[in-house]
Structure 1
Amino acid sequence: MVVAGSETRFPTTPSFRLDGQRALVTGASKGIGRAVAIAFAEAGAEVLLTARSLPEMEATVEGLAAKGLAARARTLDATDRAAVRALVDAEGPFDILFNNAGTNIRKPFLEASDASIDALIDLNIRAAITVAQAVARGMVAAGKGGAIINVSSVNGHVAGVNRSIYTASKHAIEGLTKAMAVELGAKGIRVNAICPTFIETPLTAGVLSDKAFLERTIRAIPIGRIGQVEDVMGAAVFLASPAAALINGASLLIDGGLVCV
């Protein structure tokens, strides 16, 4: 037991590096997923990029290879449960999962169709569960723990107009993250969520092209700007790294203070 004022040990800052780690990133063909795959590789991890579109991922892999970094790409439809489990069995075990595959279909609540509801639930919730479960099973079998980062949203904390179903799906991810953290923590697996505000990506390009909407959104963010993928990259590396060794079940808001307003 350390008595107050008597400690002489100099603590060592934990590493933010991911050397020797194997990382899986879903939804890695563009936007946040692509950026985080690059960040993981730059931090020393061996990264497997997955998404439905292979050519875009191959270009990213080539760019990383040119820098001497380790990355590969595989096509994967995250809603195909059998395909997810087969890929994780064949390519795993992984030390890190960035559980990012997702989408948004903007509709007023009263106009949300059965098809759009099913699409959001299937990809944003069911697929996220399938991927996380498959990777976590591999981590447990390997017996060395790991880090899972579920991609939530600022809408996992606050509501948004024309985003009712999306908001519901991200609230589900918040609950899933906490429950996984409780169940898997004792097995050495940390589970956290990142919750971005609007990040400038191909997914948000349409809505952000609306000048009035863009101006309203910027006014709502105390820091006064829309997010960039770089704003997410460091947060993801941190949560995956030894520097976050005691962080489990947390939701890291990357929102410029929007939720505080």
Structure 2
Amino acid sequence: MRLEGKTAFVTGGSHGIGREIAEKFAREGADVAFNYGHDEAGADATKAAIAATGRRALGVRADLRDLAALREMVASAVRTFGRLDILVNNAGVEHKADFWDVTEDDYDRVLDVNLKGLFFTTQAFVRHLRDTSRPGKVINISSIHEDLPFPGFASYCASKGGVRMLTRNLAVELGPLGITVNAIAPGAIETPINTVLLNNPNLLKTLIDHIPLGRLGKPKDVAGLALYLASADADYVNGSTYYIDGGLTVSYHEQ
């Protein structure tokens, strides 16, 4: 059990990559808290899966755009478990629109969840570690679109570019405290955020033709990498971004 005795917090844990990471961590010995927005059924399923491993689970409904709410969700996890050791910033949203049609509300929603929410959730976690004089691990779930352009998703790309730089900056700033900060940049993964893609055979085939491994990724692929970064095996890994995209980024080209 690679996370025996550890406690983790995963944002966006009611479905997709977040749920897979939460369940993977629990199977490896960690107690797991997670947040969710509106998916009560998904949250219940995640809690049940964690409990089935014999580990403790806590689901907290919180809007990551609300600083008071996100600070309270971290505090509630600390009250419940007594400590936190690992933070996975997984929650994210996107909005498709031509650049000239993007509204302020759409922009704010994407940046507030993907970057601002991540920033201040990490701050609350780091304050807890400093107050208790303990090391810890931060894992940011970014995207290949922190580097690869994605026309029609300018605000999403801007948010993930911010995550890339924030990861590197915090690795330097927090390293002396024994806190490592790394990121995972998934490519096309079979999750609800890609429902439109999954339901469009022509678009899906075009994308898969660009992926050397010839398939989409699965949430378990990302969870396995997150487990490595959360474990003692990655204690000397800091400031890195791991692309997990089947080779898409290095092979992609416009037709």
> How far apart are the structure 1 equivalents of 2:173 and 2:249?
28
Cα distance change, pair 142–236 in 1 and its aligned pair in 2 (3 A):
same
Structure 2 counterparts to residues 1-261 of structure 1, below 5 A: 17-52=2-37, 53-92=39-78, 93-261=83-251
**Relative to structure 2, which stretch is displaced further, 151-160 or 48-57?**
48-57
Question: Where do 5+ consecutive residues of structure 2 fail to align?
Answer: none
Deviation of 1:102 after TM superposition, in Å, equals: 0.9
- How many residues are matched? 246
Amino acid at match of 1:101: A
Q: Is 2:32–2:50's contact at 8 Å kept on the other side of the alignment?
A: no
Amino acid at match of 1:67: T
> How far apart are the structure 2 equivalents of 1:238 and 1:49?
19
Deviation of 1:60 after TM superposition, in Å, equals: 1.9
Question: Where do 5+ consecutive residues of structure 1 fail to align?
Answer: 1-15
> How far apart are the structure 1 equivalents of 2:35 and 2:76?
14
> How far apart are the structure 2 equivalents of 1:37 and 1:72?
11
After TM superposition, the score normalised by the length of structure 1 is 0.91
Q: Is 1:40–1:47's contact at 8 Å kept on the other side of the alignment?
A: yes
Amino acid at match of 2:215: R
Q: Is 1:102–1:123's contact at 8 Å kept on the other side of the alignment?
A: yes
Cα distance change, pair 169–247 in 1 and its aligned pair in 2 (3 A):
same
Amino acid at match of 1:17: R
> How far apart are the structure 1 equivalents of 2:53 and 2:179?
30
After TM superposition, the score normalised by the length of structure 2 is 0.93
- Paired-residue identity, %: 38
Deviation of 1:62 after TM superposition, in Å, equals: 1.5
Q: Which of structure 1's runs of 4+ aligned residues deviate more than 3 A?
A: none
Amino acid at match of 2:53: K
What is the aligned-residue RMSD (CA, Å)? Answer: 1.3
Which has the greater radius of gyration? Answer: 1
> How far apart are the structure 1 equivalents of 2:200 and 2:151?
15
